[in-house]
Every structure is written in structure tokens, then in C-alpha cells.
Amino acid sequence: MPDAATAWWSIGPGRGEFRREPLPDVSDGEASVRTLYTGVSRGTESLVARGEVPASERERMRAPFQEGEFPFPVKYGYLNVGTVERGPVELRGRTVFALFPHQSRFVVPADALHPVPDGVPARRAVLAGAVETAVNVLWDAAPLVGDRVVVVGAGMIGCAIARVARSIPGCVVTLVDVDPARAATAQALGVGFALAAEEVPRADVVIEASGAGAGLQLALGIAPTDGEVIVASWYGSRPVSLDLGGDFHSRRVALRPSQVGAVAQRRRGSRTAGNRLALALRLLEDPAYDTLLGGTSSWRQLPEVTAGLADGTAGELCHTIDWNAE
């Protein structure tokens, strides 16, 4: 097919296949995009690669341009940066971010494309989803000037939250993780670091982004009396066991989820999801976010990348897929 795209479909636990898909004609109000990079959202895409999206959440978990149905076969993903080839004059030739799956070219409504600021390299722009999540989590957590903020879990989302939070005047931000190697990442982001196995300072604001029950238990232990833990992790169909004995009730600690699918309640009346994503893209002018970029692979290596997501060997930070590589 001369005017076709290459798309990646997950077809079973840890398995996928490339499919050639015809591209529709570009109509008024639409644009065609040639993909430069896609990003692997490790937490969510690991669940998808293993087929662990709960039946009760399959509709809510749909990506904007997903095809197929959970668990398989499904074309999934939502971190896509490309160049507009055809479409409205103001977008032609622009680098744009879209919530589109892993695919070499695509056609979407022009209003689904978000121009990337000139100061943001294309590969860094795949982090827009992570930084948008960080913005939403912090709208939910609402740290104040001078607060002590502890983020449990130094993966891509936890690190993005920490970097955004450090810009609040007077805030002291600490990343907590089980991996001592994350200390270097925290230093590059300009925040403190503590090992989960050691004494972690108490905090005014506690955010859990570890994706592990032990991380959530730790977050409960360091939350302030009458405080709360903002849960940014999503566990899919995995059960999480917590010890709610001891001083849990006497300290009256609350658990509150944060989920990027809807704008945080505190901003829902004044901001849209588009506003939130535009803010995230502006924040990415900060070169420190390059710290969150892990390895990169040719699109031809997506079978190996998907297998790594399913078996747990994928890296913690953002892995990018280069669609120009051979």
C-alpha cells in the first residue's frame, strides 16, 4: 500500500505484530502527521502488554485513538511526537504532540494536535504525558509555599512530579526509592533523595508513585497527622495489601487517588485538559527533564520492548521509539 502506515498491535501477553494500515485522505479540519518519536508509558503500557487491564476499567482506560479492545488485540499508546505533513497552514511543518499509539504516520483532527514549543526538542516532548500527569497530581495535592513534599517512587511519573514541585517557592522535595542508583537522578533534578529502607523524613505533602504496595505502606507511615496520601500509582488488576493497624486510625490519615483522565477537581471549573497539556509542554523547556529519558530503540525493536514491559525487565524511565531509525 503506497499511502499506508506501519502500526504496532499487542496481540498477547508480551507479544505483538506490525500491521500495515491504509491512511485516509486528509479532509478539512484534519492533518496528517509523520511520527518522529513515540514514548513508552511504562506503568500503563506494562499492564496492557500483560493483558492486566481489569474488565471493569476497559472502557475508562481507552486511549483517545486506540483501536481494538482489551485485552488483545489492541493498538495502544498515547505519547506521539511528529511533524505535520498536510493540514492547516498554521500547522504545516510544525512539530506536534498527539495522544496517538505507536504508528509511523496518521491522520487526525487538527485540534487533536498540540504544537511543541520551539525550545523543546522532539524527543523530550514525548514526556508531555508524564509532566501533564505531574501537573494534575500537584493540583490534587495542592502543596503550599515552603511545604516539605515527599514523593515515593522515583520512576518517570514520580520524578516528573518532583521536578515540577521543586519550582514552588520554598518547597523542599525528597524522592524516595528502593534503588540507591536513583540518588543520581534526584540530584540531576535538583531534589533530595532517601532510600526506602532508611529513615524517611516526615512531610507536609506525601505523593505515592511507586506502583508497589510497599511504597504505599511507606507513604502512609510518613504522612502527617490529619494529612493524606495522594496515590498517583495505578495497580490495574493487582491486589494491594496494607497494614492499617498501629497508629493509622489515631493519626487519621486519608488516601486520595489522582488520575489524569480528568482534570483535578480543584481546577476542573477553570482549566481544560488542553490547557493542562499546553502547560506541560511549556514546562518541558526545562532541559532537566532530559534526565527522565531512558534508552531509545528503533521501531523495529518494538517486539523486544513489549516483551520487556510484560516480563518486568523494562527500565523505570521513559523509553523512546525512534521512527526514523532503520
- Per-domain residue ranges of the chain: 4-127+284-322, 130-264
Span 4-127+284-322 CATH architecture: Alpha-Beta Complex (3.90)
List per-residue pLDDT tens for the chain, 326 residues long.
558 999 999 999 999 999 999 999 999 999 999 999 999 988 889 999 999 999 999 998 899 999 999 999 999 999 999 999 999 999 999 999 999 999 999 999 999 999 999 999 999 999 999 999 999 999 999 999 999 999 999 999 999 999 999 999 999 999 999 999 999 999 999 999 999 989 888 899 999 999 999 999 999 999 999 999 999 998 877 889 999 999 989 999 999 999 898 999 999 999 999 999 999 999 999 999 999 999 999 999 999 999 999 998 887 789 999 999 87
Cis peptide before 143 (omega within 30 of 0): no
b/e sequence 283-322, b meaning 16+ C-beta within 10 Å: bbebeebebbbbebbebebbeebbbbbbeeebebbbbbbb
- Inter-CA distances, 306 with 9, 11, 49, 98, Å: 10, 11, 6, 21
Predicted TM-score (pTM) of this structure: 0.94
Span 130-264 CATH architecture: 3-Layer(aba) Sandwich (3.40)
Q: What pLDDT is attached to residue 64?
A: 94
Q: What pLDDT is attached to residue 302?
A: 97
User: What nine digits make up the cell of 68?
Assistant: 481494538
Q: What pLDDT is attached to residue 2?
A: 58
